[in-house]
Amino acid sequence: MEQSQLEEVKSAALAQVMAAEDESALRDAEVALLGKKGTVSLLSRGISQVPPKERGAFGRAVNDVKKAVVEALTHAREGLREAAIQSELDDRSFDVTLPGIRPTGGTMHPLSQVQERLEETFIAMGYHVLDYLEVEDEFHNFEALNIPADHPARDMHDTFWTKDRLLLRTHTSPGQIRAMRTLEPPFRAVFPGKVFRYEAIDASHEHTFHQLEGLMIDRHVSVAHLNSSMQIMLSQIFGQELTIRLRPGYFPFVEPGFECDVQCMICGGAGCRVCKHSGWVEFLGCGLVHPNVLRSAGLDPDEWQGWAFGLGLSRLVMMQYGIDDIRHIMGGDLRFLRQFA
C-alpha cells in the first residue's frame, strides 16, 4: 500500500468522525474504524505486501493514522459534551432562582444508637469490643458451650439451619469460645450482634433480635465479682439507679447461672404488655463460665475462671425509648424510625 493510499484512508476516517452528530453516531464510527474489522485496524494487515525494507516506515505510518483517528474521536466527544452543557444552559426553562430540592438525610437506627453508647461505656471500662460472624457452626454455637447434640437446652434455641449444616447463631455466646481462643487472659470483652431464633413472635419476642455478650476471664473470679459487675454495668448503661433482681437461671455454659431482671421502665412495675403484667422484664442471663467451656476453649479451669453475661439489646432499646412492641424495631417503618433522629 502506497503512502498516498494511507492518506486517503486517513482523510476518509477523519471525515467520518467529523460527520457524527451525536454520541451514538460517534460510537458507530469508532467501531467502523477501530473495531476488530474496522478500516483503520485492517491497515496493519497490508504489511505483508510491503517490501521488507519499507515495513518499518509503513508500520509507523499506520500508527500515525490510528493515533490521528483516536485523537479525532476524543476531540469530537469533548465537543459533543460541551455542546450538551451549553444547550442546557441556553434552555430558557431552566430557572436558577427556583429553590433546590433538599436531599433527605438518614438517621441513625435506635439500636445502633444504643449499641454505640454501650460500646463507648465498655471501652471506657477497659473492655475489647469484638465482632463475630452471624453464620456459625454447631461446635461454637452449641457443643463448645457444653450443649451436646442430645442436650434438652437445644430445644430452647429453635435454630435456622443452612443446607450444609451451618446455622444462624442463636445467641452471641459462641463469641465466648472465639474470644478465649484468640485473646491472652486476663481480658474482658463485649461482642454485640444480631441473633436468630425460629420462634413465634409477639410484643416481646422477635425471630431476629440483638444481644450483647460480655466476658471476663481472670484468676480467682467469684459470684461476688459477677454480682458487683452486673450492678456497675447496669447503672452505667442506664445512667440511673435501677431496681434489678437476680434469680437462679439455667444455662449449660455457666455454673452457677442467673437470670437478671430489671423492673419494667415502661409501667414502673405496675404491669403492662411488655412485662407480661409481671412488673419485671428479663434482661440478661449471666453466670460463672463453666469449667467445660473453659476447657473447650483451651484454658485450664484450675488457673482461669470468668463470668459471662448475655444481654437482650433489643429489649434494652424498648426500655430506654418506651417502645411497647419489639416488632417495631426491625420493622423498617420510616415513620417509626424518624422519631429517633
Measure the CA angle with vertex 257, ends 252 and 261; round to 5°: 125
Measured from the Cβ of residue 119, the count of other Cβ atoms closer than 10 Å reads 15
Contact with ligand FA5 (CB under 6 A) among 174, 192, 252, 287: 287
Which range binds ligand FA5 by CB under 6 A, 16-24, 55-63, 217-225, 279-287?
279-287
Contact with ligand FA5 (CB under 6 A) among 69, 206, 216, 280: 206
- Least distance to ligand FA5 from the beta carbon of 197, Å? 5
Measured from the Cβ of residue 300, the count of other Cβ atoms closer than 10 Å reads 9
Q: What is the DSSP letter of 253?
A: T
Alpha-carbon torsion, ordered 59, 65, 70, 74, to 10 deg:
150
Is 283 among the residues that bind ligand FA5 (CB under 6 A)?
A: yes
Which range binds ligand FA5 by CB under 6 A, 48-56, 61-69, 127-135, 284-292?
284-292
Contact with ligand FA5 (CB under 6 A) among 143, 199, 324, 325: 199
Contact in structure between 254 and 171 (CB atoms under 8 Å): no
Q: Is 22 left (phi over 0), alpha (psi -120 to 50) or beta?
A: beta
Contact in structure between 209 and 193 (CB atoms under 8 Å): no
Is 225 among the residues that bind ligand FA5 (CB under 6 A)?
A: no
- Least distance to ligand FA5 from the beta carbon of 268, Å? 19
- Least distance to ligand FA5 from the beta carbon of 195, Å? 7
Q: What is the DSSP letter of 48?
A: G
Contact with ligand FA5 (CB under 6 A) among 66, 140, 169, 171: 171
Separation CA 97–CA 171 (nearest Å): 56
- Least distance to ligand FA5 from the beta carbon of 313, Å? 8
| CA-to-CA dists, residue 81 to 37, 67, 143, angstroms | 28, 21, 64
Is 169 among the residues that bind ligand FA5 (CB under 6 A)?
A: no
Residue nearest to ligand FA5 (CB): 312
Is 173 among the residues that bind ligand FA5 (CB under 6 A)?
A: yes
Contact with ligand FA5 (CB under 6 A) among 286, 293, 294, 318: 286
Q: Could you tell me the three cell numbers for 108?
A: 441513625
Contact with ligand FA5 (CB under 6 A) among 285, 318, 319, 323: 285
Q: Which of 111, 165, 97 is nearest to 135 (CA)?
A: 165
Contact in structure between 299 and 305 (CB atoms under 8 Å): no
Separation CA 13–CA 39 (nearest Å): 8
Which range binds ligand FA5 by CB under 6 A, 4-12, 47-55, 230-238, 282-290?
282-290
| CA-to-CA dists, residue 135 to 129, 170, 251, 313, 334, angstroms | 19, 10, 21, 19, 28
Contact with ligand FA5 (CB under 6 A) among 66, 178, 315, 328: 315
Instruction: Considering the complex, state which of residue 58 and residue 280 has its C-beta at the smaller distance from ligand FA5.
Output: 280
Instruction: Considering the complex, state which of residue 16 and residue 146 has its C-beta at the smaller distance from ligand FA5.
Output: 146
Q: Which of 324, 326, 287 is nearest to 306 (CA)?
A: 287
What is residue 100's three-state secondary structure?
coil
Which range binds ligand FA5 by CB under 6 A, 48-56, 100-108, 266-274, 281-289?
281-289
- Least distance to ligand FA5 from the beta carbon of 88, Å? 54
Instruction: Considering the complex, state which of residue 16 and residue 115 has its C-beta at the smaller distance from ligand FA5.
Output: 115
Q: Which of 144, 138, 124 is nearest to 170 (CA)?
A: 138
- Judged by the rule CB under 6 A, the positions of this chain that interact with ligand FA5 are 171, 173, 197, 199, 205-206, 209, 211, 213, 251, 254, 257, 282-287, 308-310, 312, 314-315, 326
